Chain A
Amino acid sequence: MTDIAQPSHTGASAMPKKRSRLHNLAANKSLWRGITAIAVFLVIWEIGARWDEWFGKEWMIPGIGLIPPPSDVFEVWLTVLPKPGYWNSWYQSLARVLSGFLSAMIIGIPFGLALAVNKYFRDIFFPPFEILRPIPPLAWVPASLIFWPTNEMSIAFVTFLGAFFTIVINVVGGARTIDVRYLRAAQSMGASQWDLFSKIILPGTLPSIFTGAAVGMGITWEVVLAAEMISGGGTQGGGGLGFFIWNSYMGGSLEQIVVGMISIGIAGYLCSSAIRMLGDWFMPWRRLF
């Protein structure tokens, strides 16, 4: 009751939503702070990178002085943007991330729930799971290159593993820490096992599922990029943003390396935003907190 009565200090984001979306966006202080922060970061980078140009070589700032300034990066980016190869790299990496991530979700969520609710299932499958889990995804690369017929399939498999373990652990943790009061209340009201599962355990686990998804998404990007760098170009399993960076490195284009890195940053940001939006949509009650 008190938060309604008190004047809001968070600005327009907490005001009644009478106005248009665009207006709200423009009045959103957090958004402007974010934009300002990025702008300040770019300015510092630019100055740092150009310092030696302006004051002579002996004034070069170590580290940052070796990195191309953002304006140069931007220029190179503009030349890369119209090239289909660049977009193809995006497409290839995204496709790999999504296929690995989605298969990990599709298999991992039911597997995690089964581990959480069924004692027999847990007794049988948890020990091998726990032994396989600490193996880093990249340690699977050689074995999967041998095991799977194509490079592409090995990348997909390693990507899947990267997300799978994280998702499962989060689902198990979430489902097993559901407040016993909810379960008791539901059982007192006469909930069947299925009601308990579908209406209490599943929604109660959703927040953990989305936490697992967000972390798993990060790991899939890591794994995909590393796999792309390892597998290199060629016809099989090549391409992608990882290869784009590697190729730029081989070609000696510092600017293009940074373009590739920022592209990955943007792609990762888009993916986690998508997960956040899905989370909001699936869990309307969480939007309040």
Chain B
Amino acid sequence: MPNLNTRGALSIRNVTKIYDPEGVNVMAVKDCSMEIAAGEVCMIVGPSGCGKTTLLNAIAGFHSITSGEILLDGELLCGPGKPKADQGAERMVVFQNGALFPWKTLAQNVAYGPRVQGRSSKAEAMEKARDMLAEAGLGNVTEKYPGEVSSGMSRRAEIVRALINDPKVLLLDEPYRAMDALTKSIMHESLLETYDRTKVTIFFITHDLEEAIFLGDKVHIVTTRPCQLKKTVEVNIPRPRSYQTQSSEEFRHLMEEVNEAVHEEAIKAFQAGERELA
């Protein structure tokens, strides 16, 4: 299926990030480059603590980078002379443990972006929020607080909260990490369905290899710290995909390929961890 989205191309060029330049000098990301096309689902896979989140934080504008540059649709987000990107609604983050405001109902949460940007009146924003939540299958819980719904529902609502801002890129940091396999598979289908509808560029960090192949157009495997691109695996399984995809021959073949590359890094990360502790 041709992808008609022309927004949200990310270029990460030779990005290096060193934490605490005066002290312990931890190099989180080293000379890392990757190209993410507009409308692509790009999965980043690597060992724990390897610096994937650092990369995401740099794109989102939460942290500065030490050198290199990051561009969004050809425009410089951060680079020489501007170490930290501005935070903006064109790059929406969905956090690891969820960051829906507990004091707002799901609809109020989703309406927050349009409200504070002054794009629409309160009534309009709430109406649009309810519509979009209903589209994501959350029509009957729009007036509930995040604490009242399941983690799956709140994560889905959080993606809706990001999408209402019409972002160029969705940045997801292990959004389904703490979920059981069954909930996860439902979340995957719902994300795929959302993606097929919006074709928004997705930058998705995960540990879960099946998740990476099932959702992604490309799987970028990164090394253990410092984070560097090790290998890119193209996933040429046609969309729309369903859970049956995961039992196909092609899928299994890709799993092997990714697994091999990741396993090597996992061992390195493990041994590095042992040394640090000893």
Contact = CB atoms under 8 A, between A and B. Distances in A.
B62 interface: yes
Main secondary structure of the interface of A (DSSP, over half): helix
B116 A190 contact: yes
A186 B92 CA distance: 10
B60 A188 contact: yes
Contacts of A186: 101, 112, 116
Interface in A271-288: 283-285, 288
B88 A285 contact: no
A204 B148 CA distance: 17
B103 A179 contact: no
B116 A184 contact: no
Contacts of A199: 101, 112, 116
Given A1-B150, A188-B93, A288 B145 contact: yes
Main secondary structure of the interface of B (DSSP, over half): loop
A39 to B, nearest CB: 36
Interface string B107-121: 000001100110000
Contacts of B146: 285
Contact of A184 (B93, B102, B147, B150): B93
A279 to B, nearest CB: 13
Interface in B136-164: 145-148, 150, 152, 161
A115 to B, nearest CB: 22
B103 A188 contact: no
B262 interface: no
A289 B93 CA distance: 27
B116 A181 contact: no
Contacts of B60: 184, 188
Contact of B99 (A181, A195, A284, A289): A181
A284 B145 contact: yes
Contacts of B251: none
Interface residues of B, number: 28
A184 B148 contact: no
A131 to B, nearest CB: 32
Contacts, number: 69
B147 A289 contact: yes
A200 interface: yes
Nearest to B97: A181
B19 interface: no
A203 B113 contact: no
Contacts of B92: 188-189
B271 interface: no
Contacts of B165: 189-190
Given A182-B101, A184-B60, A285-B103, A195 B116 contact: yes
A190 B89 CA distance: 6
Contact of A190 (B61, B88, B152): B88
B116 A189 contact: yes
A255 to B, nearest CB: 48
Contacts of B199: none
Interface string A146-188: 0000000000000000000000000000000001011011111
B99 A182 contact: yes
Given A203-B103, A204-B103, A189 B89 contact: yes
Nearest to A283: B103
A285 B95 contact: no
B190 interface: no
A192 interface: yes
Given A181-B95, A285-B147, A289-B147, A188 B88 contact: yes
B45 to A, nearest CB: 23
Contacts of B103: 203-204, 206, 283, 285
Interface string A198-219: 0110011010000000000000
B145 A285 contact: yes
Interface in B71-123: 87-89, 91-93, 95, 97, 99, 101-104, 112-113, 116-117
Interface of B: 60-62, 87-89, 91-93, 95, 97, 99, 101-104, 112-113, 116-117, 145-148, 150, 152, 161, 165
A-B complex: 8 closest residue pairs judged by Cβ atoms: A181-B99, A189-B113, A203-B103, A285-B145, A1-B150, A190-B117, A185-B99, A191-B116
Given A188-B89, A191-B112, A285-B102, 5 more contacts: A181-B95, A184-B95, A186-B116, A190-B116, A288-B147
20 contacts: A1-B152, A181-B97, A184-B62, A185-B93, A186-B116, A187-B87, A188-B61, A188-B89, A188-B91, A189-B112, A189-B116, A190-B89, A190-B117, A195-B116, A203-B101, A203-B103, A203-B104, A285-B147, A288-B147, A289-B147
